[in-house]
Amino acid sequence: MTAAVQATDLTGTWAIDPVHSSISFSVRHLVVSKVRGTFGAFSGAVTVAADGTPSVTAEIGVSSVYTGNEQRDAHLRAPDFFDVEQYPTATFASTSVVPDGDAYRLEGDFTLKGVTRRISLPVQFNGVNPGMGHGAVAGFEASVVLNRKDFGIDIDMPLETGGAVVGDKVAITLEIEALKQA
């Protein structure tokens, strides 16, 4: 954290509040548009040491994928994509947080479908609010673009006219509200 955010302001553990947070994604479809979706089941924590050093852990229940189309969601849960029977969760564990201008860069290990890769997420810290009688809340936003093939989601569905039914690049957006734990 920077000098603008005192370690005493954030010291402790902050649990991700899934009611006030979201994990969404978008991926190219038929080359010309995007399919968007969310994951409804996730948890995690931001822990800030007394010296201000943060660490982040998170888990996503990939079977909670939702795109608004039951048939597509079932296919995403199948072995072609997430293979939720064998790999029910995706996980993230930070290795470092580095100041990056007015924001931060969260480095860590992301595991999806049994494949772990080091990723880097630009994170915006939105501040702390005293909350509404249930304790302090902190807000964060992050986004990253990942290649699905890097995580073993390598189904190819080429189009006769060129391109593919599903693009390789997946944009992931996180809107996180975390609750200070007692």
For the chain, the domains span: 7-180
pLDDT at 159: 63
What pLDDT is attached to residue 8?
45
Neighbours of 60 (CB within 10 A): 22
Query: 124 φ, ψ to 5°?
Result: -105, 125
Residue 168 CB partners (closer than 8 Å, separation 6+)? 147, 148, 149
For the domain 7-180, what is the CATH superfamily, name and number?
Lipid/polyisoprenoid-binding, YceI-like (2.40.128.110)
Q: What is the mean pLDDT of each run of 10 residues along the chain (182 residues)?
A: 47 94 91 88 94 92 97 94 97 94 93 97 91 87 95 79 76 96 80
| Gap between the Cα atoms of 62 and 122, Å rounded | 22
Residue 155 confidence (pLDDT): 80
Report the predicted TM-score, pTM, of the whole model to 2 decimal places. Answer: 0.88
